[in-house]
Amino acid sequence: MIRGFRDGLARINGGMIAYSVGGTGPPVLLLHGFPQTRALWARVAPRLAKTRTVVCADLRGYGDSFKPEAVREYSFRAMGEDMLALMADFGHQNFDLVGHDRGARTAHRMALDAPEHIRSLALMDIIPTHLLLDSLTWPVAKGYYHWFFLSQPAPLPETLITANPDYYFESCLLGWGASQLADFDPTQLSAYRKAWRDPDTIRGMCNDYRAALELDFAMDAADLGKKVSCPTQIIWGATGAMGRAYDVPATWADRCTDLHCTAIEGGHFFVDTAPEQTTAALCAFLAS
């Protein structure tokens, strides 16, 4: 899936987590977001692997990883526990952590729940989950309507999406900052399509969003007093929905003790559309 990397499956927390691993050196874990898979990192991971042991994993419910039935099994805490167990399985008790979109929300939760394992944290194109939901405005709700569509009771969103998954998920890719499908690498786009055409993956992604409203909001409310204690890089798409609606660094200022901020040209999917700039920002942060 990623050139020069080894693909595998690890039995974690009662299910199988799919991963790709390559390189040597200090470990770093890369987590993708919606509606993608670990293929997101295909043009980023090989460069990092020149000096790092790089692990790219599919979140539960996504890609080739297992897809539990119950909504309660899709909290960011549960996803994060998978990833902590995966890295421990590789022998990595401490590691750098990078996440985009849902992977970033999972990474944020990991940094709050298990700070002793996270050396540094890079969060891509999110604002804090609790802040987004607690102070929701209509422009943000319009742009991020999918949070509320996907979280509707089953099988409503699953039924509608299954009728034409490429149409629906490609509308997400194009609606949050890419002007055309040509902005995406064909091989990566093929991997995304293969995953999102699977009805179990559609269900898993819907359950991810259901859990955000039903579980994660309350977990985050309980932890509003906690701060991320490790060095943290906030990266966002300069013309994306979050960049237009918020002062992104300001949303994290009181939640992190050591904050570094970088805007990347493009919208939400800048990892796909600007991989070289994304990689350069990550390399500079990790080297520091």
Average pLDDT (247-255) is: 98
Q: Which residues pair with 97 in a beta bridge?
A: 29, 121
Residue whose structure tokens are 């990689």: 279
**pLDDT at position 178:** 73
184-213 pLDDT, tens digit per residue, is: 999 999 999 999 999 999 999 999 999 999
30-60 pLDDT, tens digit per residue, is: 999 999 999 999 999 999 999 999 999 999 9
CATH number, domain containing residue 20: 3.40.50.1820
| Domain total in the chain | 1
In a domain, residue 1? The reply is: no
Would residue 260 show up in a list of annotated catalytic residues for this protein? no
**pLDDT at position 49:** 98
Is 267 within 8 Å of 173 (Cβ atoms)? no
Dist. CA 140–CA 122, nearest whole Å: 23
- Mean pLDDT over the full length of the chain: 97
Indicate the burial class of 13 (C-beta count within 10 angstroms; 0-12, 13-18, 19 or more).
Answer: middle
Residue spans of alpha helices (H) in the chain: 45-48, 76-89, 102-113, 129-134, 138-143, 146-150, 156-162, 165-175, 186-196, 199-211, 217-222, 241-245, 248-252, 270-273, 275-287
In a domain, residue 58? The reply is: yes
Indicate the burial class of 159 (C-beta count within 10 angstroms; 0-12, 13-18, 19 or more).
Answer: exposed
Dist. CA 16–CA 99, nearest whole Å: 20
Domain of 103 in residue numbering reads as: 6-287
> Of 64, 101, 125, 220, which is the active-site residue?
101
In a domain, residue 87? The reply is: yes
In a domain, residue 60? The reply is: yes
In a domain, residue 84? The reply is: yes
| Token pair belonging to 221 | 């409310």
What angle in degrees, to the nearest 10, is found between the helix axes of 186-196 and 165-175?
130
Report the candidate in 197, 172, 201 with the shortest Cα–Cα distance to residue 63.
201
In a domain, residue 147? The reply is: yes
> Of 32, 100, 268, 272, which is the active-site residue?
268
pTM: 0.98
Would residue 100 show up in a list of annotated catalytic residues for this protein? no
